[in-house]
């Protein structure tokens, strides 16, 4: 019996989906006009970006095991009613799921009939007497099928973690794995593309000393194994950002050189801002710079990679993170 392709499962969950491509061992959902938050997860290796699509054959070849159920149809799609507590209120969130011999895929999307999209996709990987949970996709859409106002990427993440914890005993889950491919728009209401987006892992490192997932208890690693070199680089990032001051980096000069269209008045304001915070930690200054995000993210975007290079910060985008439970 042949392995049932993961895309078959996803297409069962979202039969009319038009934006599905495959990533190395995960799922990638393309940008669409109302796309506001991206955290496109893929557990493991590099992707074939040269052709603008991901290599499906390569994806299939890298599957380590075969699953016995080769004839999955719509009757296999079931509903899991997850009880989630939000601000003291109990909310029922209905996940579609498909259970195969070696994986269980849970997903919740949008109600759109023309182009339904996944907001959360979690895959439980069964491995003998234990399992690992993989957060494959988090994508924020304003019409996600979750009865909560002001949905955010953070809330979707919390729902995914809560779902996994509710399944821990049933599937003997011992850890959660995710790859940090997150990006954030600049500006938030602008057109989303590779040029406009900001690498969220790198932005978080420069402003917090750790990645977004790192601040939530995840560490670089796979299946409970933390590679020493990567762990050392991760800790070194935190050590650098805990010491470097604003005055140590020529930020104003970078801004001026990389933004020739800025007005003299804007440059004067930015210069005063940098002088005012010269003795502050660089991370604090960059955080304050980003507070009026839609107004200043373009400036931040023009300098953040240059700052990271000067400080020899390791970029953890696309790196796999793991958390024991």
Does 56 reside within a domain? yes
CA distance 251 to 274: 8
| Same domain, yes or no: 174 and 31 | yes
Write down the pLDDT at residue 145.
Answer: 85
The strand pairing partners of 82, in sequence order, are 93
Low-confidence residues in the chain, pLDDT < 50: 1-5, 17-71, 190
CA distance 108 to 45: 25
CA distance 81 to 300: 42
Please state the pTM of the whole predicted model.
0.74
Write down the pLDDT at residue 225.
Answer: 92
CA distance 209 to 171: 34
| Same domain, yes or no: 171 and 250 | no
CA distance 304 to 198: 9
Write down the pLDDT at residue 7.
Answer: 52
Does 296 reside within a domain? yes
140, 155, 179 - which closes a domain: 179
150, 179, 208 - which closes a domain: 179
Write down the pLDDT at residue 272.
Answer: 97
Does 196 reside within a domain? no
Q: Which two tokens stand for residue 20?
A: 């599905």
Does 238 reside within a domain? no
| Same domain, yes or no: 22 and 132 | yes
| Same domain, yes or no: 146 and 280 | no
| Same domain, yes or no: 105 and 252 | no
CA atoms within a 13 Å half-sphere pointing along the CA-CB vector of 155: 19
| Same domain, yes or no: 252 and 153 | no
What does 9-65 look like in DSSP terms, one character per residue? HHHHHSTT---EEEETTEEEE---TT--EEEE---SS----TTSS--HHHHHHT--S
Number of domains in the chain: 2
Does 95 reside within a domain? yes
| Same domain, yes or no: 15 and 138 | yes
| Same domain, yes or no: 150 and 69 | yes
| Same domain, yes or no: 291 and 171 | no
Q: Which two tokens stand for residue 275?
A: 């002088």
Does 306 reside within a domain? yes
151, 179, 207 - which closes a domain: 179
Does 162 reside within a domain? yes
| Same domain, yes or no: 126 and 271 | no
Give me the domain span that covers residue 283.
246-311
Does 187 reside within a domain? no
| Same domain, yes or no: 51 and 139 | yes
CA terminus-to-terminus distance, the chain: 33
- The string of pLDDT tens digits covering residues 48-63 is 222 232 232 333 333 3
């Amino acid at each position: 019996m042949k392995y049932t392709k993961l895309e078959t499962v996803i297409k069962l969950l979202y039969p009319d989906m038009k934006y599905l491509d495959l990533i190395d061992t995960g799922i990638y959902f393309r940008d669409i006009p109302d796309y506001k938050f991206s955290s496109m997860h893929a557990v493991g290796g590099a992707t074939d970006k040269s052709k603008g699509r991901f290599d499906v054959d390569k994806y299939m070849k890298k599957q380590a095991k075969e699953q016995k159920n080769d004839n999955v149809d719509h009757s296999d799609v079931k509903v899991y009613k997850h009880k989630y507590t939000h601000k003291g209120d109990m909310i029922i969130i209905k996940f579609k799921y498909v259970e195969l011999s070696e994986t269980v895929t849970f997903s919740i999307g949008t109600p759109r009939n023309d182009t339904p999209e996944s907001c959360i996709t979690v895959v439980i990987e069964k491995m003998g007497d234990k399992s690992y949970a993989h957060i494959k996709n988090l994508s924020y859409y304003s019409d996600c099928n979750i009865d909560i106002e002001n949905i955010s990427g953070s809330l979707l993440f919390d729902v995914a973690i809560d779902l996994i914890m509710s399944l821990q005993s049933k599937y003997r889950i011992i850890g959660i794995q995710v790859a940090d491919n997150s990006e954030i728009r600049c500006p938030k209401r602008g057109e989303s593309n590779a040029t406009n987006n900001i690498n969220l892992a790198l932005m978080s490192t420069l402003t917090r000393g750790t990645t977004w997932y790192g601040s939530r208890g995840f560490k670089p690693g796979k299946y409970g194994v933390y590679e020493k070199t990567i762990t050392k680089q991760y800790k070194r990032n935190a050590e650098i950002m805990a010491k470097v001051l604003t005055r140590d980096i020529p930020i104003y000069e970078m801004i001026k050189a990389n933004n020739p269209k800025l007005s003299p008045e804007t440059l004067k304001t930015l210069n005063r801002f940098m002088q005012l915070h010269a003795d502050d930690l660089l991370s604090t200054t960059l955080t304050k710079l980003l507070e009026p995000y839609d107004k200043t993210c373009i400036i931040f975007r023009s300098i953040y990679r240059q700052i990271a290079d000067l400080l020899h910060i390791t970029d953890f985008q696309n790196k796999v993170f793991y958390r024991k439970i």
